[in-house]
Every structure is written in structure tokens, then in C-alpha cells.
């Protein structure tokens, strides 16, 4: 796969806006990663690295991080009334993620040495991306910087979790657990929730007054969650119940029209409703695990990651792709079907956790849940890659 990253390249449209190359990379990585994971679990190929570590790292830093940068490099300057990013700057960062991703995926099959080199390249790209956002934050003259502060803070926690992952991979394995906890709650969740609580009520024309204390309370509870998990595994169920209550109460306060007849709003609102459900079911699962040792295959993190983050990624990804390509901001039948399919993926993963807890043979359900994921990402790619690469008009 050969790409030129120059200004005069024939791919000039592809690189004309930051979300285009980064979204493509995120989706391609998502598909390749899951195919490798599926094949390794079915003993078709042998991974040169630990399968669970590969799964966590690849989805966090090869898929979600480029997807976040796609969104933030486009919207952060708009949020802060600052000039759009220079093409040379975001192409440099994209090049590092592209190179790092390719070497990491190759190294996962060939040699952990390649994976190690790739992780360092990806970390450098990640640092550069956060520094760009930090510079925008420092130069903006807007008065209310609350939302962008939380977004930047979450991105900074992403760097901390990434650094801890490298230390765990190279020197001290026990740090892997802390790295994962920080990445799920203080990076992936906090970032997505910071954006969602700003954008979804706005898109939904919710007229209620903004709750300025919400993110402070949520952040404090997330910190407490990680602290309790560090002291005793699964002890965070009390905090998760509190998070379910606080966020659930806030969503009701917004008085969103749900289910919304507009699919582009329906998917974003559905994602948000998974948050209290995810924390509540996670709390119940962790409590049962605590008293009986029953294993739910990380039900709590998967509901948050798939129900909330993954669903909102598809929703925002579609919205940004349509809106920045001159296409009509509406979901056709195929796009609407894809949105519904996201919930099939979530439901299958929840079923997998309950099947594991009941002691059933889960291999076929495990394979089915990954195939459902692959169908979604492949179908989205088939529908929207031409829009991102060439600016294709869908109507």
C-alpha cells in the first residue's frame, strides 16, 4: 500500500481535511485488527504478542485514537475560534500513525520487536497530536474554555495510559491493568462524554440550562473508580452505581425527544443512554464477581466501549463525513440500517458476557460477535470511503 504524503500528490483531496485520512486509517485498522484477533483465537494464526494485550492496544491506539484525532483536528479549531490546522502539520502526525499501525500489525504476527518499535512511533504521533490541541487551547481567546479543557485533559490521560502501556510491555507487566483502567475511563470515556454532553443536546435542540458541574462530578467518580479497582478488583461497583445515577438523571433532565425520528440524532442519543445502563449492569456484574467469582468477560468495559463510544463514533463519524463533503446531512436507508446494526453488535457482545458467566461454550458466539463487528465496519467503509477519499456525492 503506497501513499504519497506531499502537497502536490494526486491524493490532494484525500488530505484536504484532517478527518479524512485519520478516519480511513481508524476504520482500516479496526477491520484488520479484528480479523487478526479472530484468526488468532481460532488458532488459524499464532500471534507473536499476547492476544489480549494486542486487542486492547490495537483498538485503543490504532483505531480509537486516530478516530478521535480525525474529529478533534477538524472541530477543535471551530470550538475555539482559531484557524484551521495546516495540512503539513496533520499529515506529519498521520504519517506516524500510518507507519506505526502498519509495523505494529505486521509485528503482531512476525515479531514482538517490530511491535515494540511501532508502539514508540505511535506514541510519538500521539504526543504530537496532543501538543497540537494544547497549543490551540493556549492560543484561543474565547472566554468559556470548560468543554475544551475537559477534552484536552482526557487526551492528556490518553498519553499517560499510552506511556504506562509501553512501560508494561517493555519492563513491568503489572502496570498493564492500570494502563487499561486509565485508558477506558479517563481517556476514551471522559473524552467521548465531554464531546457528547456538549454536542448531543445542541444537535437535539435541548433548551435546558447547561450543568456546569457535571464533568467535575463525573471526573471525580471516574478517579474514585480507578482508585478502588487499584485497591481491590471489582470493588468499584459502588462508584459505578453512582455514575449510573448521576448521568442517568442528567440525561432525563435534557428532555431529549427519544426515540428520535432523525437517524443521525437517534444513534447519538442511543449511545448516551448506554452510559447509565453500562455503569449499572457493570456494577451488578462486578458485585456478583466479587461475592461469587463469576467471570463476565469484562462486561462493564465492553458496554461502555461498544454501547457508548463505538456507537457514538459511528454516529459522529457519519455526521462529520457527510457534513464536510457537501453531502446532505441526512441518513439514507443503508446508513440507517448500519446504525441499527451497531446495536446488534452491542447486544451480541453483552450476550457473550452473560454466556461466559453461565459457563456455556462461548466460541461460536465469540466468533459471531466479531463477524457482526466486521460486517458493520466493512459496510461503513463500502458506503463512505469514496466520500472521504474523493469527495463523492451520495445523492
Q: Are residues 345 and 333 in the same domain?
A: yes
Q: Are residues 53 and 195 in the same domain?
A: yes
199 and 210 in a single domain? The answer is: no
Placement of cell 501513499 in the chain: 3
- The pLDDT score that the predictor gives to residue 215 is 97
What is the model's pLDDT at position 109? Answer: 93
Q: Give the pLDDT of residue 4.
A: 46
Sequence-ordered list of residues with C-beta below 8 angstroms from that of 333, at least 6 positions apart, any chain: none
CA distance 276 to 337: 25
pLDDT tens sequence across 125-138: 999 999 999 999 99
Q: What is the pLDDT of residue 11?
A: 58
- pTM for this model (two decimals): 0.95
Q: Under the phi-then-psi rule, with left for phi > 0, alpha for psi from -120 to 50, and beta for the rest, what region is 367?
A: alpha
Residue 1 lies in a domain: no
Instruction: Judge whether 74 and 20 are in contact, CB under 8 Å.
Output: no
For residue 173, being part of any structural domain is answered with yes
Q: Is residue 2 part of a domain?
A: no
Q: Classify residue 5: in a domain, yes or no.
A: no
Distances (CA, A) of 148 to 155, 309, 325: 10, 18, 25
What confidence tens digit (pLDDT) does each residue in 48-65 have?
999 999 999 999 999 999
Question: Distance between CA atoms of 212 and 108, rounded to whole angstroms?
Answer: 44
Tell me which residue range forms the domain holding 238.
206-395
37 & 81 share domain: yes
129 lies in the same domain as 217 = no
Query: CA dihedral in degrees (213, 215, 218, 223; nearest 10)?
Result: -110
Domain membership flag for residue 33: yes
88 and 57 share a domain? yes
At residue 6, the pLDDT reads 44
**Are residue 196 and residue 304 in the same domain, yes or no?**
no
Greatest Cα pair distance, the chain, in angstroms, is: 63
Q: How many domains is the chain built from?
A: 2
| pLDDT value for 2 | 45
Residues 221 and 356 both lie in one domain? yes
| Residues 273 and 304 grouped into a single domain | yes
**Residue after which a domain boundary falls, among 156, 171, 203:** 203
pLDDT along the chain (395 residues), means of 10: 44 86 97 96 93 96 97 90 92 98 95 95 98 93 86 97 96 94 98 96 93 96 96 94 98 95 97 98 96 94 97 96 92 97 98 96 96 97 94 86
Residue 73: all three cell numbers together: 483536528
Q: Are residues 199 and 237 in the same domain?
A: no
Q: Which of 157, 187, 203 is the last residue in one of the domains?
A: 203
Same domain, 42 and 175: yes
Q: Which of 220, 184, 198 minimizes the C-alpha distance to 151?
A: 198
Give the residue from 330, 233, 310 showing the smallest Cα distance to 268: 310
C-alpha to C-alpha distance for 102 and 173, rounded to whole angstroms: 24
Residue 145 is predicted with a pLDDT of 85
Assess if residue 328 is contained within a domain: yes
Amino acid at each position: 500500500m503506497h501513499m504519497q504524503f506531499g502537497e502536490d500528490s494526486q491524493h490532494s483531496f484525500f488530505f484536504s481535511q484532517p478527518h479524512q485520512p485519520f478516519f480511513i486509517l481508524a476504520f482500516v485498522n479496526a477491520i484488520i485488527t479484528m480479523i487478526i484477533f479472530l484468526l488468532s483465537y481460532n488458532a488459524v494464526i499464532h500471534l507473536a504478542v499476547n492476544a489480549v494485550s494486542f486487542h486492547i492496544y490495537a483498538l485503543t491506539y490504532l483505531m480509537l485514537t486516530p478516530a478521535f484525532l480525525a474529529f478533534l483536528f477538524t472541530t477543535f479549531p471551530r470550538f475555539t475560534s482559531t484557524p484551521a490546522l495546516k495540512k503539513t502539520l496533520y499529515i506529519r502526525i498521520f504519517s506516524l500513525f500510518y507507519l506505526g499501525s502498519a509495523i505494529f500489525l505486521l509485528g503482531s504476527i512476525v515479531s514482538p520487536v517490530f511491535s515494540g518499535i511501532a508502539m514508540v512511533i505511535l506514541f510519538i504521533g500521539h504526543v504530537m497530536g496532543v501538543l497540537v490541541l494544547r497549543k490551540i487551547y493556549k492560543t484561543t481567546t474565547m472566554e468559556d474554555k470548560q468543554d475544551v479543557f475537559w477534552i484536552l485533559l482526557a487526551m492528556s490521560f490518553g498519553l499517560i495510559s499510552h506511556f504506562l502501556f509501553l512501560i508494561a510491555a517493555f519492563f513491568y507487566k503489572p502496570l498493564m491493568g492500570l494502563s487499561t483502567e486509565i485508558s477506558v475511563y479517563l481517556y476514551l470515556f471522559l473524552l467521548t462524554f465531554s464531546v457528547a454532553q456538549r454536542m448531543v443536546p445542541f444537535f437535539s435542540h435541548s433548551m435546558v440550562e447547561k450543568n456546569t458541574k457535571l464533568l467535575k462530578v463525573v471526573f471525580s467518580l471516574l478517579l474514585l473508580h480507578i482508585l478502588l479497582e487499584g485497591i481491590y478488583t471489582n470493588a468499584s461497583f459502588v462508584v459505578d452505581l453512582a455514575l449510573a445515577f448521576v448521568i442517568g438523571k442528567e440525561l432525563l433532565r435534557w428532555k431529549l425527544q427519544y426515540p428520535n425520528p432523525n437517524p443521525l440524532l437517534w444513534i447519538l442519543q442511543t449511545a448516551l443512554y448506554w452510559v447509565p445502563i453500562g455503569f449499572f449492569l457493570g456494577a451488578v456484574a462486578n458485585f456478583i464477581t466479587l461475592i461469587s467469582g463469576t467471570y463476565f468477560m469484562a462486561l462493564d468495559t465492553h458496554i461502555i466501549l461498544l454501547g457508548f463510544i463505538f456507537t457514538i463514533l459511528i454516529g459522529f463519524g457519519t455526521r462529520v463525513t457527510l457534513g464536510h463533503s457537501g453531502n446532505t446531512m441526512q441518513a439514507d436507508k443503508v446508513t440507517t440500517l448500519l446504525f441499527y446494526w451497531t446495536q446488534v453488535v452491542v447486544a451480541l457482545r453483552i450476550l457473550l458476557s452473560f454466556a461466559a458467566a453461565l459457563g456455556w461454550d462461548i466460541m461460536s458466539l465469540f466468533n459471531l460477535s466479531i463477524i457482526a463487528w466486521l460486517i458493520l465496519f466493512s459496510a461503513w467503509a463500502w458506503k463512505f470511503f469514496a466520500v472521504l477519499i474523493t469527495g463523492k456525492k451520495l445523492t
